Amino acid sequence: MEILNALGDGFAIALTLENLLLAFIGCFLGTLMGALPGLGPANGVAILIPIAFSLGLGPTPSLILLTSVYYGAMYGGRISSILLNIPGDEPAMMTCIDGYPMARQGRAGEALTLSGIASFVGSLFATIGLVMLAPQLVKIALLFGPAEYFVLFTLAFATLGGISSTNQAKSAFAAALGLAIAMIGSDSQTGSERFTFGHIHLYDGIDFLVAIVGLFALSEVFIFLEHHRGGSAARGGTMTIGRLLPSWATIRSCIPTMTRGTGIGFIAGVLPGAGASLGSFLAYSMEKLAVDRDGKTFGKGDPRGVAAPESGNNAAAGGALVPMLALGVPGSGTTAVLLAVLLSLNITPGPLLFTRNPDIVWGLIAALFIANFMLLALNIPMVGLFTRVLLVPTRILMPVVAMISFVGIYGITSSTFDVMLMVGFGLLGWALRKLDVPMVPIILGILLGNEMEVNLRRALQISDGDWSILFGSPLAIVLWIIAITGFVLPIVMGRRLKKRIEANRPPEETAEGD
């Protein structure tokens, strides 16, 4: 009952004209960014953060705009998967396998509608799951002291490489690099200058927005330059959509599929280090195991093979918001970027968010429900509009993206130094991507570094310098066990899983992060 009341208040906030408009703009831009290969949810949100701030939007409106973009990108990714066999973003990879064959058979419209419905089901139930689960998790999180928080952060980094990681040393390196960058600037506890070498620009530390936009958005531009890939995504592809509505029998046959996909996806989203890509991968693989063991129809245009990954990745997107909002520890790339939104608005995420700023949490959740219905409307009747976007050549698109990133960063910092630093991060991101070093742990390290250190120092302050406090409670020990398992397990079985995911990946490169 309590939850329903809170949600009711949330709807009162979300249903203002300004917030509805922002949700609509977010959904539209998100679908657009999801549909365009090279612009994924993580870099899409990253580019828009500084712009939302320079426009002076408050915390709730900014969050509504940016999470609508996040949800929208999860819907939009499927469009180019189905029509062109190029995933619009990483989580949409699995949709290619059955979506493209359906399009080849002239059933593109049906595949788009069906995957739109599956996306809707996945997001809707995941958002309901978020409403149920997050407050429970908050109750547990309130038991956390500084030592437990420190271990929780360690857990987030240890599992962030995910069970599909090939090289855990590279994930760990990335996390440490992020933490190292976070240390630059005045120490929050004692005020000592650290790693500034007397440079006045470094006293406040490195703005994480500069790092995020550089690492995600600009490095993407460099990748496109490297390959001279300037044509439109749709070059030479068949783009006929055909009949939009699938038969009722097809939809009905997909209902159990969507249910399973939603369940699996949501769990994958909530678990640390999984995210939407893994959600859609698991949903597809499980569905294949469940209904098509011998591989008779899957991979040849089975509608269930389209519904499963789409409900899976959208449910995972909703699920990933649970740890981000309740614990302040994101489990995926885009939720890490959304955490950056909270931090730059001076809102501390985590359990206290629910008691201190219930208006933000519930307003956001209500907005997600509304955004879902908008997205359904945008993605089924108006899907033709978004397919046109695929005709825009990247030689025009990427420079525009780069310039908008510059506008945003310059808008909030007005500093040439920060803009140059962003270009530097872009180059660094390009080189690290070549070396297969993941970007997300770097971002998370920069975002959480100070918080992690503060908790460590508080814990040791309480214990008067005794390091055993980090293993001092059953809760902490459980968290350590999960962290260590999460780090070691991929070394044992990760290569196999990664290989299976890679085997399904179409040759085109897609934007990093989900």
Question: Which x/- pattern, by CB under 8 A, does the window 459-478 give for other proteins?
Answer: -xx--xx-------------
Among residues 400, 478, 488, 493, the one that binds other proteins under rule CB under 8 A:
400
For other proteins, which is the closer residue by CB, 296 or 434?
A: 434
Q: Assess 300 for contact with other proteins (CB under 8 A).
A: no
Question: Which x/- pattern, by CB under 8 A, does the window 9-48 give for other proteins?
Answer: ----------------------------------------
Can you list the pairs that 170-173 forms with residues at least 24 positions away whose Cβ atoms lie under 8 Å? Answer: 170/435, 170/436, 170/437, 170/438, 171/438, 171/441, 172/441, 172/487, 173/437
Number of residues that bind other proteins (CB under 8 A): 67
- Token output for 507: 């040759």
Backbone angles phi, psi at 211, to 5 degrees: -65, -45
Q: What DSSP string runs through 298-346?
A: TTS--HHHHHHHHHHHHHHHHHHHHHHHHHS---SHHHHHHHHHHHHTT
In whole angstroms, how close is the CB of 190 to other proteins at the nearest point? 4
Q: Assess 173 for contact with other proteins (CB under 8 A).
A: yes
CB 254 within 8 A of CB 247: no
Q: Assess 392 for contact with other proteins (CB under 8 A).
A: no
Stretch of residues binding other proteins (CB under 8 A), selected from 71-79, 81-89, 174-182, 198-206: 174-182
Is the backbone of residue 167 left (phi > 0), alpha (psi -120 to 50) or beta?
beta
In whole angstroms, how close is the CB of 180 to other proteins at the nearest point? 5
Q: Assess 346 for contact with other proteins (CB under 8 A).
A: no
For other proteins, which is the closer residue by CB, 196 or 250?
A: 196
Stretch of residues binding other proteins (CB under 8 A), selected from 32-40, 67-75, 395-403, 493-501: 395-403
Q: Assess 492 for contact with other proteins (CB under 8 A).
A: no
Stretch of residues binding other proteins (CB under 8 A), selected from 131-139, 362-370, 417-425, 492-500: 417-425
CA distance 313 to 89: 11
Give the footprint of other proteins on residues 181-240 (CB under 8 A): 183, 187, 189-195, 197, 218, 221-222, 224-231
Q: Assess 55 for contact with other proteins (CB under 8 A).
A: yes
List, in sequence order, every residue forming a beta bridge with 194; answer none if it has no partner. 185
Residue type, 153: F
Q: Where are the alpha helices (DSSP H) in 36-167?
A: 41-54, 59-84, 95-104, 108-141, 146-160
Count helices and strands in the chain by DSSP H and E runs: 21, 2
Q: Which residues of 78-117 are buried (b: 16+ CB within 10 A; e: fewer)?
A: bbbbbbbbbbbbbbbbbbbbbbbbbbeeebbbbbbbbbbb
Q: Assess 180 for contact with other proteins (CB under 8 A).
A: yes
Residues lying near other proteins in the complex (CB under 8 A): 51, 54-55, 166-167, 169-170, 172-173, 175-177, 179-180, 183, 187, 189-195, 197, 218, 221-222, 224-231, 394-396, 398-400, 402-404, 406-407, 410-411, 414, 416, 419-420, 422-423, 426-427, 430, 434-436, 453, 456-457, 460-461, 464-465
